[in-house]
Chain A
């Protein structure tokens, strides 16, 4: 089920909220768990079993590790648990990739299984792994209540597209949490803002990609428009989803960590990745990069660590070579920045550094968005005038006019400008009152606007569902 759907907004959510808040505290996790299982079953009936098995495995392995009489037994339990989780991820997400590449490499003709990618498997697997790894290293205590552990993994606000919530973040909340009016109001406001980012901005920007793919004649300008549109779309799509997840989490009494911090205002790739998909970046940092030695090793090993982490980051996003290339592409920039670019960028005015970062990110997302490296190269050639297309044509000018305002609105909304204006207004009594009164009005208008967009349009895919 999608957050940005009528079934979620006007059937599932009110029903769950109603039941949840009339249920006594000790059964609230059970309500949340049952709701989450239905939420997942609605979109992924068969693979619900896979998720249940994954949770059961994590729970039983957790108990095994906890009861292990020796460190060696504990290690065996740990290896077994990680093997099960990673094995399921590799099998369901990557088997087609491995079989196809094996066939290409060795000239075999192994027929791959016809398996669809289970929604959200990358996210819930990483959550399970964080629980198991933290448990093994003694950073958390074992969760003996299966309902609480299942609630952590399957909790619908963050189940299918993150943010990747660490068990330690909500461990206390699973046992005991409070619900307050300010938290619920904040959560609702955050949810509706995320919904608007997704439905009004991301979906509208996504239309440009569809028009681009169906266009009779393309142009250099159209190639750039499509690339920039996708760069903005994926930000509003994913950060909108994270806003909705964080908002819903707050309504149910949980405080999830932020996942985005205006990444497009960054002045370097290093900074960009501190602001983009923070929960994934920190996961790889804490569970892969630092255990490999991080940057406290020789230069050669440090380079290896960077490339391993970014290979995995790319591969996590999708079982295609273009995702791997995308990850390694950023690794190259991170290394270059570490060696000399950061010093150079530090001396330049912020605006120039910013205009270094944006093309790097846009080109990165062209690689990311392509259906294979062949398409990525064609699109990059088109952007740089290496295809036999005009600079602009009637179609491009029309779509530029049609989506120009959306581009400007999205570009502004990707910066903290609105936030800063609000903060400035808050410093005046009149401004604060106006802001306070306008908040519910804006929330209602945005919610109704999103409802209209949802009823009207069928174009409503969540990009991060495929990961």
Chain B
């Protein structure tokens, strides 16, 4: 084959790729959502003279092109493969996998954020919780367990706890670090698996001073599959699916969840949401600003207020055995100042702040 033909092949390949993707992308309908990345994809920006002249219009177009590029997920997978296996990088966008267990590197420790979290707890205490039995616990992220053996940098967890313990006033600390292991978490998700945390629920109840232990109750383990956790899509690696487990019994099935945003009642587990954007939303319908769980079969009339993040959604049902009512507050979605309008703090017996290290290390999102 002569050189000219090879040159033509070279030009042809380039033209085919560049023109091909241009035409396909121009005529392809926009996708609304990336299930792999769990986020809404951008649509074309609105034109205005101001955004055109200040450069925002084309900046937004650039982001839109990236979001809507055809085969986006395949290209991300190809890039993950290139970085991890061809360039021999240890992680891909801070995510690494060991034996199918995916972990996100949470590093470095933001001392400012931890201090802010401590101040937030103090603020809530001063406003609403004086005189109550108030406790806090921290849930380690997966990198706490996997990081050291993998050699990945880990945040200084000792310093994190030191800051909290020295700056939080009047609130008792309950240690969960020693009660958890990497096996308690899903391999493809950041969260723990509900069937593995009955012991953790016991630690919390004992720490709060509630004598009713979740492990004294019987549960039926139910399964939902295939479960792809949030890290699965971010890792862009072709790892196998898992099974999502949830625990139920007669008491939990009769418990009623009330959502203050929608003013609607529902059950603890909403299995329809398993097919949605985040399958973990099965637990208490996912991210919600303010919920209550009323347990008509409780053997006590005690009430708990649980300040929590998404980890709280799966452990709250286990704590429900010891309370007639649990109020769940997610400060990412409701401001502290408004809490008094919705919650009767004088009716509460116990209060628990339960936050993961990821949220504490990014605590400026707490309102």
Contacts and interface: CB of A to CB of B under 8 A. Distances in A.
A356 B317 CA distance: 67
Contact of B152 (A17, A185, A398, A403): A398
A108 B54 CA distance: 32
A436 B75 contact: no
Contacts of A439: 6, 10
B3 A182 contact: yes
B108 A181 contact: no
A45 B62 contact: no
A205 B335 CA distance: 41
Nearest to A449: B82
A455 B75 contact: yes
A276 B289 CA distance: 58
Contacts of A11: 22, 25, 65
Range of interface residues on A (Cβ < 8 Å): 35 or more
Interface stretch (A1-9, A304-312, A379-387): A1-9
Interface in B167-204: none
Tell me if A's interface is mostly helix, strand, loop or mixed. helix
B11 A14 contact: no
A455 B7 contact: no
B333 interface: no
Contacts of A189: 10
Contacts of B83: 204
A171 interface: no
Contact of B9 (A10, A46, A440): A440
A430 to B, nearest CB: 14
A233 to B, nearest CB: 15
Contact of B10 (A45, A440, A451, A457): A440
B17 interface: yes
Contacts, number: 144
B346 interface: no
Chain B interface category by residue count: 35 or more
Contact of A44 (B13, B55, B78): B55
Interface in A430-467: 436-437, 439-440, 443-444, 447-449, 451-457
Contacts of A200: 82
B267 interface: no
B18 A13 contact: yes
B156 interface: yes
Nearest to A9: B18
A101 interface: no
B248 interface: no
B7 A7 contact: no
Given A403-B89, A404-B88, A454-B66, A449 B19 contact: no
Interface in B49-99: 52-55, 58, 61-62, 65-66, 69, 72, 75-76, 78-80, 82-83, 87-91, 93
B72 A455 contact: yes
B107 interface: yes
A216 B109 contact: yes
Interface in A406-431: 406, 409
Contacts of B93: 456-457
Ranked nearest first, the 5 interchain pairs of A and B with the lowest CB-CB distance are: A185-B7, A216-B108, A402-B90, A452-B79, A405-B88
8 contacts: A181-B11, A185-B6, A395-B153, A402-B90, A403-B89, A405-B89, A439-B10, A456-B80
Interface of B: 1, 3-4, 6-11, 13-15, 17-19, 21-22, 25, 52-55, 58, 61-62, 65-66, 69, 72, 75-76, 78-80, 82-83, 87-91, 93, 107-109, 151-156, 236
Interface of A: 1, 5-7, 9-11, 13-15, 17-18, 42-46, 181-182, 184-185, 188-189, 192, 200, 204, 214-216, 394-395, 397-398, 401-406, 409, 436-437, 439-440, 443-444, 447-449, 451-457
